[in-house]
Amino acid sequence: MAKELQATLLQLKNLRPYRRNLDKILRYLESEEGRDLIVAPEVCLTDYDYEHIEEAVAFGDEAERELCAAVGRQILVLTRLVRREEGYANEAIVIHRHRVVHRQAKHKLFLLGEEDRHLVPGRVEEIHPFELGGVRYGLLICFELRFKELWKRLEGCEVILVPSQWGLPRKRHLEILARALGVMNQCYVLVANSAREDMAASSLIASPDGGLILEDMSEAIRGELDLGLVKKIRRYIRMQ
């Protein structure tokens, strides 16, 4: 297992046409080639474009193929709109070594945003740890950060990834919850949030010791994850 991970959070606006969003991510994959982990915001390719959802899904299929071709040793995390058997869903994908190594649809839909009118929830069983390169990861999508029962499903993870489109009125909630999850689960929490004008920004890296890298203005936020710190904290403060 690597002792350190170099992470980049992309704090992006949603652009039109969709292709501009994909091209921006592809450019960052190239410019951040030396980074281990890149996390992009929730539905960063198309936004929640319910009015043109079939087009958004079709573009997501195309984008996924292009991103798989582009992603080698890096790990790329984002969410996209997909069509499942039961309906449309917001699905997180984790791409590594030219393939999708983890899929997870959003389980807790945000009722204030009327997500439940357009999307079906993913199964809670999809929320579980997964391992890459000897590192144990977990993933929550935006609103799911609020639910302590989902925190418990990710106990033992060293890094929890949170692609988000979190609204500006609840900015402090995002920052507090992410830091609390890092301390509670004794892990790193990485939030990549949307930079749209009505969104909170607040993309951050929360450390297991309560440390924080927080940025509102930059489009790319970089930090180093010391996985030895996770082990040290867990030895020092035993939770079981």
Whether cis (ω within 30° of 0) applies to the bond prior to 17 is yes
> Which pTM value belongs to this model?
0.97
The pairing of strands 188-193 and 135-139 is: unpaired
Question: CA 36 to CA 140: how far, in whole Å?
Answer: 19
Task: Kindly report, residue by residue over 24-59, the tens digit of the pLDDT.
Answer: 999 999 999 999 999 999 999 999 999 999 999 999
pLDDT at residue 100 is higher than 70: yes
Beta bridge partners of 237: none
- What is the residue range of 156's domain? 4-236
Q: How confident is the model at residue 237 (pLDDT cuts 50, 70, 90)?
A: confident
| Surface-to-core class of residue 170, CB atoms within 10 Å of its CB (0-12 exposed, 13-18 middle, 19+ buried) | middle
State the chain's mean pLDDT as an integer: 97
Residue 240: the pLDDT is: 65
Task: Kindly report, residue by residue over 174-214, the tens digit of the pLDDT.
Answer: 999 999 999 999 999 999 999 999 999 999 999 999 999 99
Count structural domains, the chain: 1
CATH number at residue 220: 3.60.110.10
pLDDT at residue 141 is higher than 70: yes
Q: How confident is the model at residue 232 (pLDDT cuts 50, 70, 90)?
A: very high
